Structures are given as C-alpha cells and as structure tokens.
C-alpha cells in the first residue's frame, strides 16, 4: 500500500514537471519567434474587433427584427387566407347541402323503391296477398317482386315528368338566351346609331370650322396685304426724310462746330468729330519732339548708370574671388591637420588594441560560453 502511494506521488510529480516543461516549451516558442511575438496589447485592433462585433450584433438584431415583422405579416396573411378559405368552404358546403335537400332527395332516385326503409310498411301483408295459397303451393318465393308493374309504371311517369321538366327548363333557358341576344343586338344597334350620329355631327362641326378658318385666313391675308402696302409707303416716306436730313445736316457739310460738347472743349462728340486743326497738330508735334528729347536724355543717364554698375560688379567679383581662394587655402590646411590627427588616433587605437589582445584578452571564449545564454524564458 505504501509503495502504491509512493508511486502515485512520484507519478504526480513527474506529471507536474512534464506539464511545466510543456508550458515552458510553448512559451519559448512564442517569445523567441519574432513573427508571432508581440509586446503589450494592440488596443486599436481590439477596438476594431469590438466595433465589428457590435456592428454584427446590430445587423443581426435588425435582421431578426425584420424577420419577426415579416413572420408577423406572414402569420396575419396566412390567418386571413385561412379564414377566407374556411368561409368559402362553409359557403360551398351550405350550397351543396341546400342543392341536395332541394334537388337530390332520396325519394327522387330511380331505384329508391329498392332501398325504401318503409317498403314493408307500404306493401300488403303476405296473408292478404296470398290468402288462398298454402306453404306447399310453390307459388310464393322469398325476394319476389309483387309490385313490378306498378313500380315500372310509376318509374315511367316519373321519367316523363323529369324529361318534361328538363324540356321546360331548356325552353326557358333558350328564351332567356334569345332575350339576352335580342337586347345585345338592340344595344349594339343603338351604339352604332349613336356613333353614326356623332360622326355626322363631328363632320358638320369640322366643315363649319374649316369654313370659319378659311374666312379668317382670307381676312388675315387681306389685312396683311394692306399692312404691307402701308409699311412700304411708310418706309418710302422715312427714306425720303432720312435722305433730306443727311443732305441738309451738318455731318456731310463738314462743320466742325457740330463736334462741340457740353462737357468741355477736351471731350468732343465722337460721332461728329471731323479731325484736328493745324494749330492742334502743331501743339502735338511740339510735345512729341519734347518727349523724344526727354527719352534721349534718359537713355544717356541709363548708359552711365549701367557702366558704373558694371565697374562695381567687376570689383565685387574680384574681391569674392580672392576671398574664395583664401577659403580654399584654409580648408585644405584644415583637411591636412584632420588627416594627420586621424592617422595619429588610428595608430594609438591600434597600439591599444594590440595591448588588449596580448595582455587583457588572452583567453577567447568558446561557443559553449555563448550558448548558455537565452536558453530560458525566465
């Protein structure tokens, strides 16, 4: 018993160790794999997931509400159709029962006398029908039809009555159909007569309308002809008046006074202006000569200024060139000093590295030294 308990305890310890080892292996796989390792939580992705789930829940809730509404409408429509179908079925059953009670009574069947429940009550007793015959006469048998002649006569009378009734019903149907046909023919004839009357009235109205239109067009043509004559006369009169005004006006007479304006002598009327006088032309020429002299003087001044500017620019260029040469000389000197300092530092660093390699780092670590690191996730 103690051995079993000890084995069970060892098994539990081994299982716990194996479980921890598996957890460590899984954790090492997650941590040491840079493709799946994440630091912290991606809050934006989680927020998008929450929004997506919320949107899906809203869509599902909306879809369920629409499905519920459609189901309610379908249920209402189905119940309404079921009620209508039940009402129609009850109405048909009532009509069928009424027809059966009126036209399909049991006693109206042709072989009703064979299935009549009161047949024995209506027939005569055997003692009265065969009172002179005994049991051994062999003249009376079970199932014998005693009223065959009467039954056949009554059946023939009933068949004749049915045939007469059918003939009467057919005759009434024919009469009703003929009456309906006659009424239909009368309605068609009345409609055709009304159509002919309307067509005749329409033609008469169209003829009167065409006559009125023709009269109006003739009157309008006469009025337009008269208006054309009046407009031609008016235009001829206006042309003569215009010619007279041009001949006697100031425009063709070359009068300079007609260009005078109330706005002043410097703003003549453009439509009546006849050109400048000789005095005005002389004033303009004098002004043009003065402006040309002013332009020549300004060109000379500009030439002098350009020469001065060119001298100044050349002097500045020479100064800048000498300054650039000085900068290049100083830069080359600085580069030389930097190169010498770099060589000195390189030599010093090399001597220091040689000292470290010979005296400090005598023993180089083996690969096993580096493999002992980064073996656990703890």
Instruction: List, as one string, the DSSP characters of 37-76.
Output: --SS--HHHHHHHHHHHHHHHHHHHHHHHHHHHHHHHHHH
SS3 label, residue 213: helix
What does the pLDDT read at residue 173?
A: 87
Residues in Cβ contact with 129 at an 8 Å cutoff, skipping those fewer than 6 apart: 146
CB atoms inside a 10 Å sphere around CB 266 = 6
Contact 177, 163 (CB under 8 A): no
What does the pLDDT read at residue 177?
A: 85
Secondary-structure percent of the chain, ordered helix, strand, coil, rounded to 5: 80, 0, 20
Contact 139, 130 (CB under 8 A): yes
What does the pLDDT read at residue 127?
A: 45
What does the pLDDT read at residue 222?
A: 87
Contact 268, 261 (CB under 8 A): yes
- Going 344 to 345 to 350 to 351, the CA torsion angle's sign is positive
Buried b (16+ CB within 10 A) or exposed e, 273-298: eeeeeeeeeeeeeeeeeeeeeeeeee
Task: Print pLDDT tens along the chain (378 aa).
Answer: 445 566 667 778 888 888 888 888 877 776 776 665 555 555 676 788 889 889 989 988 998 888 888 888 888 888 888 888 888 889 888 888 888 888 777 777 777 777 777 776 766 555 445 555 555 555 555 566 667 778 788 888 888 888 888 888 888 988 888 888 888 888 878 878 887 888 888 888 888 888 888 888 888 888 888 888 998 888 888 888 888 777 666 556 656 666 666 566 666 666 666 666 677 788 888 888 889 989 999 999 999 998 889 888 888 888 888 888 888 888 889 998 999 999 999 999 888 888 887 777 777 777 777 777 776 666
> What's the pTM?
0.23
Q: How far apart are the first and last CA of the chain?
A: 40
What does the pLDDT read at residue 295?
A: 92
Residues in Cβ contact with 256 at an 8 Å cutoff, skipping those fewer than 6 apart: 274, 277
């Amino acid at each position: 018993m103690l051995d079993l308990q000890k084995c069970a305890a060892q098994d539990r310890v081994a299982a716990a160790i194996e479980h921890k080892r598996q957890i460590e292996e899984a954790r090492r796989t997650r941590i040491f794999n840079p493709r799946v390792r994440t630091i912290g939580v991606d809050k934006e992705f989680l927020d998008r997931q929450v929004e997506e789930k919320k949107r899906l829940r809203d869509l599902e809730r909306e879809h369920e509400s629409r499905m519920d509404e459609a189901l309610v409408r379908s249920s209402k429509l189905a119940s309404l159709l079921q009620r209508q179908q039940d009402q129609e079925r009850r109405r048909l059953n009532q009509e069928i029962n009424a027809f059966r009670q009126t036209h399909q009574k049991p006693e109206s069947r042709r072989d009703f006398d064979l299935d009549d429940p009161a047949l024995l009550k209506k027939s005569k007793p055997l003692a009265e029908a065969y009172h002179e015959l005994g049991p051994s006469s062999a003249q009376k048998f079970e199932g014998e039809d005693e009223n065959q002649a009467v039954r056949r006569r009554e059946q023939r009378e009933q068949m004749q009555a049915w045939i007469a009734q059918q003939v009467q019903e057919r005759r009434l149907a024919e009469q009703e159909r003929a009456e309906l046909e006659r009424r239909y023919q009368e309605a068609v004839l009345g409609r055709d007569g009304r159509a002919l009357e309307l067509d005749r009235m329409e033609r008469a109205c169209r003829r009167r309308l065409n006559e009125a239109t023709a009269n109006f067009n003739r009157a309008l043509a006469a009025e337009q002809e008269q208006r054309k004559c009046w407009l031609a006369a008016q235009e001829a009169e206006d042309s003569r008046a215009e010619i007279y005004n041009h001949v006697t006006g100031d425009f063709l007479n070359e009068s300079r006074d007609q260009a005078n304006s109330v706005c002043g002598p410097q703003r003549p009327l453009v439509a009546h202006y006849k050109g400048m006088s000789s005095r005005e032309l002389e004033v303009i020429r004098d002004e043009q000569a003065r402006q040309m002299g002013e332009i020549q003087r300004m060109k000379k001044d500009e030439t002098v200024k350009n020469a001065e500017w060119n001298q100044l620019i050349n002097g500045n260029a020479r100064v800048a060139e000498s300054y650039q040469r000085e900068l290049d000389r100083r830069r080359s000197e600085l580069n030389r000093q930097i190169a010498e300092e770099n060589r000195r530092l390189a030599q010093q660093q090399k001597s220091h590295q040689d000292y470290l390699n010979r005296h400090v780092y005598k023993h180089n670590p083996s690969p096993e030294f580096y493999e002992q690191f980064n073996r656990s996730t703890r």
